[in-house]
C-alpha cells in the first residue's frame, strides 16, 4: 500500500510538471509572436515617423529619417548590432548621423552583455562622446577599451555597418 501511494504522488507530480511546462511554453510562443515587430519600449518600428524598411539588411535593427516641420531630413538614426566578446548577446547601439549621412552626431548604447569591468567602459558618456563629429570611416581611431579588444572591434564594426547602410540609402 505504501508503494502504491508513493507511485500516485510521483505520477501527480509528473502531471503537474508537464502541465506547468505546457503553460509556460505556450505563453512564450504567444509573447514571441506578439513582440516580433515591436522594439523594447513597445512601439512598432514600422510606425515610427520616417521609418526605413531594413528587412534583409544584416546587422541593422532599425533606421529612420529624422525630419523638421517642413519635411526636410535633418538627420538619420540607425540602430545596429554587432557581436562582441559575449557572442550570445550582441551589442546594440543607435548611431545618429547628420543629414549628410557621413558625420556622426551621436551614439547611444541600447544594450550589451559584455564583461563587467571591461566592456562596461562603453557605457560612459565620455567614451561615447568621442564619436561625435567624426565620420564613420574614422571609427577605427576610437580609443581601445583596455582588456576589451573584441568589444572595441565590435563597436567599430557596428558603426561601420550603420554607416554603410545609411550612406547607401542616402545615395553617398
52 & 127 share domain: yes
Asked whether residue 128 falls in the same domain as residue 55, the answer is yes
Supply the range of the domain harboring residue 65. Answer: 45-170
26/86 same-domain check: no
Domain count, the chain: 2
Q: b/e map of 13-49 (b: 16 or more CB within 10 Å)?
A: eeeeeeeeeeeeeeeeeeeeeeeeeeeeeeeebeeee
Asked if 14 and 60 sit in the same domain, the reply is: no
Whether residues 53 and 120 fall in one domain: yes
117: left (phi over 0), alpha (psi -120 to 50) or beta: left
59 and 93 within one domain: yes
pLDDT in tens, the chain (172 residues): 556 778 887 887 888 777 877 677 666 655 544 444 444 444 444 566 788 889 888 999 999 999 998 888 999 999 999 988 888 889 899 999 999 999 999 999 898 888 777 777 788 888 888 888 888 666 666 666 766 778 888 888 898 899 999 999 988 7
Please indicate, yes or no, whether residues 72 and 154 belong to a single structural domain of this protein: yes
In this structure, the answer to whether residues 24 and 103 fall within a common structural domain is no
pTM over 0.75: no
98 shares its domain with 151: yes
Residues 51, 30 share a domain: no
CA distance 99 to 82: 24
Amino acid at each position: 500500500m505504501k508503494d502504491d501511494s508513493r507511485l500516485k504522488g510521483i505520477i501527480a507530480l509528473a502531471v503537474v510538471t508537464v502541465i506547468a511546462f505546457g503553460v509556460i511554453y505556450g505563453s512564450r510562443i504567444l509573447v514571441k509572436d506578439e513582440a516580433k515587430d515591436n522594439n523594447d519600449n513597445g512601439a512598432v518600428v514600422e510606425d515610427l515617423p520616417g521609418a526605413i524598411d531594413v528587412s534583409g539588411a544584416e546587422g541593422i535593427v532599425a533606421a529612420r529619417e529624422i525630419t523638421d516641420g517642413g519635411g526636410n531630413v535633418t538627420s538619420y538614426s540607425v540602430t545596429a548590432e554587432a557581436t562582441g566578446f559575449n557572442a550570445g548577446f550582441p551589442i546594440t547601439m543607435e548611431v545618429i548621423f547628420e543629414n549628410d549621412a557621413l558625420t556622426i552626431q551621436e551614439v547611444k548604447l541600447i544594450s550589451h552583455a559584455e564583461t563587467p569591468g571591461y566592456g562596461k567602459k562603453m557605457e560612459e558618456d565620455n567614451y561615447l562622446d568621442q564619436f561625435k563629429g567624426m565620420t564613420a570611416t574614422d571609427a577605427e581611431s576610437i580609443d581601445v577599451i583596455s582588456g576589451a579588444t573584441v568589444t572595441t572591434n565590435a563597436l567599430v564594426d557596428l558603426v561601420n555597418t550603420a554607416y554603410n547602410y545609411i550612406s547607401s540609402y542616402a545615395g553617398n
